[in-house]
């Protein structure tokens, strides 16, 4: 299997995901080495096109590219550049004319990476688009779960928070479902999009009742703006109902895992004690993110060789 | 000049006609419809195997002028209309503009006179600047020639203003056309709120955003006794509300677009903003209720909502693209292929919804082949089948998701006021 782009987890089969995770495990082996460098992408140009602020995802992609010897260029395009008259498709064609082989794109509009993939020959990797998907985040979450638990099949994964606005939740739902996990999402009804049941997901509002049944709790970030949009009364009440507090840590099974895609609002959706808890894998997630992104870079470029040879 | 359209399947919903007949046109009017008309004619057109119907009337289109002439002009848009079988198009001010003065109405009439090949009827706005606060000078607009008043997709949010608009319009005798959408509920939505908006991660517009305003405006029509026309109905509940109001004899009419009848939210491709329309495409059950509404007469008419946009404006992120698709050239083949051929609507039902009913709703000439009526006629060949290529169309714009689709049942000739404007698949005027 090779694939040209990585736009959404929805497109991937269980076998596709397993392939990426297996490749990521091999990539992670080099982390222990003194010289973290593979020649795989030597001579290739990888552009990080970030139209939305991001530090950790961009850095993670940048390191993944560098450790694989790609020439990495970072471009921060404020979305206001649209006002200046240059469209996303124009920008992408310019990058292509400059020799980009891989474009990693983060964009506030859902569908932007798919639009880009149709406009250019370069491989396009979605680094998060609007409320749509964040495929590499879901892959690194799955990698982290599999690393700790051995398998994902049959696990009960609880995703807590702002599901409505979360691309992380959507990608996780597709991927975890494909690998056989049972998923429960928890949050206020105002932060739940419609049709979740059709995705095979259980919707709950009572975190305390759900926590003791969880193998994994993935805590999502809550944004302050949600209060102003009348989606939640206050962050305080949000924490009271959905925060991973010390009291709730006690309800969590000893072998459960705590994940958070970061950056965390400490004291709001998660407390410091939860981050420091031995069950938390939040720092592993960051490390695994590089491995997973290396695997994706390897596979999208490998897929292109296959396609060219065929 | 006498023209004889020989032996076509003549469908004239006004007279309940659906039979193989001849149509004689003298000068600019229909002279006679009957079997084996034998009087002499300068031109005899063999219409065997074809459909001969009243020229189609589009209740609502934007034609780019003024300001977006690259996307469409009265010339290009009217040629697209002629090619689509339309003999009259009601034109609203394009995009964010407001047709709130007699100047707009005069502009439309003047530009139409200078180069439009079909009849163009101006639609004015209801409120100044379409801001929903102050009424336009309705009588002046009517006197200048406005056939309806419409604030575009800016629903009048103040219920009191809407009530006054209806009351005043009733006195003036001009129908008020409304786009029903609660702006606060619709929020930043760009597609129907449901399973597919969740999957695509696009902000949704719930069906209730439309239904709330439909219910409100029906109540206001009932309160004021004014003529209300609800534009582009899209949900099953809206249809039910209108059906119930009609049984109470509320003076309401409504229309639906071809795209809302045929497509659903499952068709929306977030990487192709040609799928972005307002109101948004709804789920299958709603589309089916719209067809049922047309069948049982709850929905009176089909309007294209022809909304031309440049390729560069549409080839952007879905949430940043303008809404709208072109539709004048494809309305007939799309409905014939997807609804009539599929047995879901009859040909006379489609013809009535696109000619006789629109004429009645706005009190326009045409819409019938009755003797003495203007000779506005369309000839449709149900057997012509082709793959639609918008680049080869007459519209300046190409924003339609129908490109590349195989459609059957295209107009082959269009006559306005006794003159051919479209003949053998080409605009000739």
Interval B108-119: pLDDT, tens: 999 999 999 999
More confident residue, A85 or B38: B38
Residue-level pLDDT at B187: 96
Residue among A115, A132, A194 whose CB faces B201 most closely: A132
Residues recorded for chain B = 429
pLDDT of A1 strictly over 50: no
Going along chain B from its start, the domains and CATH numbers come out as 2-51+374-427 (2.30.40.10), 56-362 (3.20.20.140)
The mean pLDDT of B214-235, rounded to a whole number, is 98
Give the pairing type, strands B419-423 and B406-416.
antiparallel
Query: What distance lies between CA A213 and its chain's CA centroid?
Result: 24
Provide CB contacts within 8 A for B290, sequence distance 6+: B233, B234, B236, B239, B256, B260, B261, B299
Query: What CATH number should be reported for the domain whose range is A9-134+286-309?
Result: 3.40.50.1370
**Is residue A191 within 8 Å of residue A165, measured between CB atoms?**
yes
Q: How many Å lie between the alpha carbon of A114 and the closest alpha carbon of chain B? A: 6
Residue among A110, A119, A196 whose CB faces B200 most closely: A110
Confidence band of A306 (pLDDT split at 50, 70, 90)? very low
Residue-level pLDDT at B128: 97
Residue-level pLDDT at B402: 97
Per mean pLDDT, which range of A83-92, B211-220, B270-279, B344-353 is the poorest? A83-92
The count of other CB atoms within 10 Å of the CB of residue B93 is 25
pLDDT digits (tens, 9 = 90+) for B125-181: 999 999 999 999 999 999 999 999 999 999 999 999 999 999 999 999 999 999 999
Catalytic residue check, B381: no
Confidence band of B11 (pLDDT split at 50, 70, 90)? very high
CB of A167 within 8 Å of a chain B CB? The answer is: yes
Nearest chain B residue (CA) to A9: B199
Q: Average per-residue pLDDT in chain B?
A: 97
Provide CB contacts within 8 A for B343, sequence distance 6+: none
How many CB pairs below 8 Å do chains A and B form together? 76
Model confidence, pTM: 0.94
Main-chain phi, psi angles of B44, to 5 degrees:
-120, 125
CA dist B331 to A109, A216, B52, B233, B369, Å? 31, 53, 16, 17, 21
Among B305, B313, B376, B381, the active-site one is: B305
Residue-level pLDDT at A12: 97
CA dist B221 to B40, B110, B164, B233, B236, Å? 51, 33, 11, 16, 20
CB of B315 within 8 Å of a chain A CB? The answer is: yes
Residue-level pLDDT at A303: 43
For chain B, what is the total number of helices (H) and then of strands (E)? Answer: 14, 19
Q: Average per-residue pLDDT in chain A?
A: 92
What DSSP assignment string belongs to A128-151? EETTTB-HHHHHHHHHHHHHHHS-
Residue-level pLDDT at A92: 87
Contact A133 B201 (CB under 8 A): yes
Scanning A52-111 for CB atoms below 8 A from B yields 82, 87-89, 107, 109-111
Residues of chain B with pLDDT > 70, as a percent, come to 100
Confidence band of A307 (pLDDT split at 50, 70, 90)? very low
pLDDT digits (tens, 9 = 90+) for B261-273: 999 999 999 999 9
Contact B201 A131 (CB under 8 A): yes
pLDDT of A268 strictly over 90: yes
pLDDT of B39 strictly over 90: no
The whole-angstrom separation of Cα A181 and Cα A177 is 5
**Is residue B377 within 8 Å of residue B31, measured between CB atoms?**
no
Class of domain A135-282: alpha beta
CB of B322 within 8 Å of a chain A CB? The answer is: no
Per mean pLDDT, which range of B9-23, B34-48, B222-236 is the poorest? B34-48
Confidence band of A36 (pLDDT split at 50, 70, 90)? confident
Scanning A128-157 for CB atoms below 8 A from B yields 129-133
| Residues in chain A within 8 Å Cβ distance of B202 | 110-111, 130-132
pLDDT digits (tens, 9 = 90+) for A196-248: 999 999 999 999 999 999 999 999 999 887 888 889 999 999 999 999 999 99
pLDDT of A50 strictly over 70: yes
Q: Quick check: helix, strand or coil at residue A229?
A: coil
Contact B201 A170 (CB under 8 A): yes
Contact A195 B320 (CB under 8 A): no
Provide CB contacts within 8 A for A123, sequence distance 6+: A4, A5, A101, A102, A103, A300, A301, A303, A304
Q: Quick check: helix, strand or coil at residue A227?
A: helix
Contact A170 B198 (CB under 8 A): yes
Scanning B42-101 for CB atoms below 8 A from A yields none
The whole-angstrom separation of Cα B365 and Cα B358 is 10
Nearest chain A residue (CA) to B313: A87
pLDDT of A189 strictly over 50: yes
Q: Where are the beta strands (DSSP E) in A71-215?
A: 71-76, 102-107, 123-129, 156-160, 182-186, 202-204
Contact B316 A130 (CB under 8 A): no
Confidence band of A30 (pLDDT split at 50, 70, 90)? confident
Contact A132 B200 (CB under 8 A): yes
The mean pLDDT of A136-157, rounded to a whole number, is 98
pLDDT of B288 strictly over 80: yes
ipTM: 0.92
Residue among B193, B270, B316 whose CB faces A87 most closely: B316
Contact B198 A89 (CB under 8 A): no
**Is residue A44 within 8 Å of residue A102, measured between CB atoms?**
yes
CB of A198 within 8 Å of a chain B CB? The answer is: yes
Confidence band of A76 (pLDDT split at 50, 70, 90)? confident
Residue-level pLDDT at A79: 59
Contact A199 B271 (CB under 8 A): no
The whole-angstrom separation of Cα B239 and Cα B211 is 9
CB of A8 within 8 Å of a chain B CB? The answer is: no
Q: How many Å lie between the alpha carbon of B193 and the closest alpha carbon of chain A? A: 7
Tell me where in chain A the CATH 3.40.50.1370 domain(s) lie.
9-134+286-309, 135-282
Of B271, B273, B310, which to mutate for an interface test with A (greatest number of A Cβ within 10 Å)?
A: B271
pLDDT digits (tens, 9 = 90+) for B309-321: 999 999 999 999 9
Which uninterrupted H or E stretch holds B87?
A: strand B86-92
CB of B184 within 8 Å of a chain A CB? The answer is: no
Contact A111 B199 (CB under 8 A): no
pLDDT of B340 strictly over 70: yes
pLDDT of A309 strictly over 60: no
The mean pLDDT of B351-366, rounded to a whole number, is 98
Confidence band of A310 (pLDDT split at 50, 70, 90)? very low
Residue with tokens 């932007």: A112
pLDDT digits (tens, 9 = 90+) for B53-87: 999 999 999 999 999 999 999 999 999 999 999 99
Residues of A known to be catalytic: 56-57, 84, 106, 134
CA angle B307, A120, A24 (to 5 degrees): 125
pLDDT of A139 strictly over 70: yes
For residue A126, give the nearest of A191, A181, A51 by alpha carbon.
A51
């Amino acid at each position: 299997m090779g694939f040209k782009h990585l736009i959404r987890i929805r497109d991937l089969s269980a076998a596709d995901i397993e392939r990426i995770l297996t490749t990521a495990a091999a990539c992670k082996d080099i982390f222990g080495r003194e010289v973290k460098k593979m020649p795989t992408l030597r001579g290739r140009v990888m552009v990080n096109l970030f139209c939305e602020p991001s530090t950790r995802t961009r850095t993670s992609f940048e390191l993944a590219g560098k450790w694989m010897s790609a020439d990495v260029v970072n471009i921060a395009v404020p979305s206001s550049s649209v006002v200046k008259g240059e469209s996303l498709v124009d920008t992408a064609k310019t990058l292509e004319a400059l020799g980009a082989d891989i474009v990693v794109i983060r964009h506030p509009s859902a569908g932007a990476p798919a639009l880009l993939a149709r406009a250019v020959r370069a491989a396009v990797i979605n680094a998060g688009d609007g409320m749509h998907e964040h495929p590499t985040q879901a892959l690194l979450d799955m990698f982290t779960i599999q690393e700790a638990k051995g398998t994902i099949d049959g696990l009960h994964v609880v995703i807590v928070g702002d599901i409505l606005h979360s691309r992380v939740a959507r990608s996780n739902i597709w991927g975890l479902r494909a690998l056989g996990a049972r998923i429960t999402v928890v949050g206020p009804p105002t932060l739940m999009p419609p049709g979740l049941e059709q995705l095979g997901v259980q919707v709950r509002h009572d975190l305390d009742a759900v926590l003791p049944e969880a193998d994994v709790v993935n805590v999502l970030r809550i944004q302050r703006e949600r209060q102003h949009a009348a989606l939640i009364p206050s962050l305080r009440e949000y924490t009271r109902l959905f925060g991973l507090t010390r009291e709730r840590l006690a309800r969590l099974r000893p072998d459960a895992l705590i994940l958070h895609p970061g950056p965390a609002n400490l004291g709001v959706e998660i407390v410091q004690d939860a981050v420091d808890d031995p069950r938390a894998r939040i720092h592993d997630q960051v490390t695994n993110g590089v491995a997973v992104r290396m695997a994706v870079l390897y596979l999208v470029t490998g897929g292109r060789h296959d396609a060219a040879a065929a | 000049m006498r023209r004889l359209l020989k032996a076509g399947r003549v469908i004239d919903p006004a007279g309940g006609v659906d039979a193989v007949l001849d149509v004689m046109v003298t000068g600019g009017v229909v002279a006679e419809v009957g079997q084996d008309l034998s009087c002499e004619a300068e031109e005899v057109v063999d219409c065997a195997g074809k459909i001969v119907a009243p020229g189609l009337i589009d209740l609502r289109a934007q034609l780019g002028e003024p300001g977006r002439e690259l996307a469409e002009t009265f010339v290009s848009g009217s040629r697209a209309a002629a090619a689509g079988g339309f003999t009259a198009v009601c034109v609203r001010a394009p995009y964010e503009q407001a047709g709130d003065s007699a100047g707009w109405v005069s502009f439309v009439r003047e530009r139409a006179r200078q180069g439009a090949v079909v009849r163009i009827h101006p639609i004015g706005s209801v409120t100044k600047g379409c801001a929903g606060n102050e009424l336009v000078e309705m009588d002046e607009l009517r006197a200048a020639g406005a056939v309806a008043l419409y604030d575009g997709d800016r629903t009048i949010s103040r219920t009191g203003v809407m009530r006054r608009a209806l009351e005043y319009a009733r006195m003036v005798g001009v129908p008020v056309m409304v786009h029903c959408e609660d702006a606060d509920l619709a929020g930043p939505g760009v597609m129907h709120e449901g399973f597919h908006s969740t999957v695509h991660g696009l902000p949704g517009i719930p069906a209730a955003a439309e239904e709330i305003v439909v219910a409100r405006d029906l109540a206001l029509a009932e309160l004021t006794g004014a003529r209300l026309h609800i534009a582009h109905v899209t949900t099953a509940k809206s249809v039910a509300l209108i059906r119930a109001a009609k049984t109470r004899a509320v003076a309401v009419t409504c229309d639906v677009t071809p795209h809302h009848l045929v497509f659903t939210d499952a068709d929306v491709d977030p990487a192709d903003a040609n799928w972005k329309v307002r109101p948004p495409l709804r789920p299958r059950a709603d589309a089916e209720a719209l067809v049922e509404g047309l069948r049982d007469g709850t929905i009176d008419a089909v309007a294209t909502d022809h909304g031309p946009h440049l390729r560069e404006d549409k080839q952007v992120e879905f949430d940043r693209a303008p809404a709208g698709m072109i539709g004048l050239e494809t309305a007939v083949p799309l409905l014939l292929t997807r609804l009539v051929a599929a047995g879901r609507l009859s040909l006379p039902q489609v013809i009535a919804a696109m000619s006789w009913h629109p004429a009645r709703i706005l009190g326009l000439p045409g819409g019938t082949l009755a003797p003495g009526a203007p000779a506005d006629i369309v000839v449709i060949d149900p057997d012509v089948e082709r793959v639609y290529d918008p680049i080869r169309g007459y519209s300046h714009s190409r924003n339609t998701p129908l490109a590349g689709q195989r459609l059957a049942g295209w107009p082959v000739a269009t006559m306005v006021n006794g003159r051919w404007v479209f003949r053998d698949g080409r605009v000739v005027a």
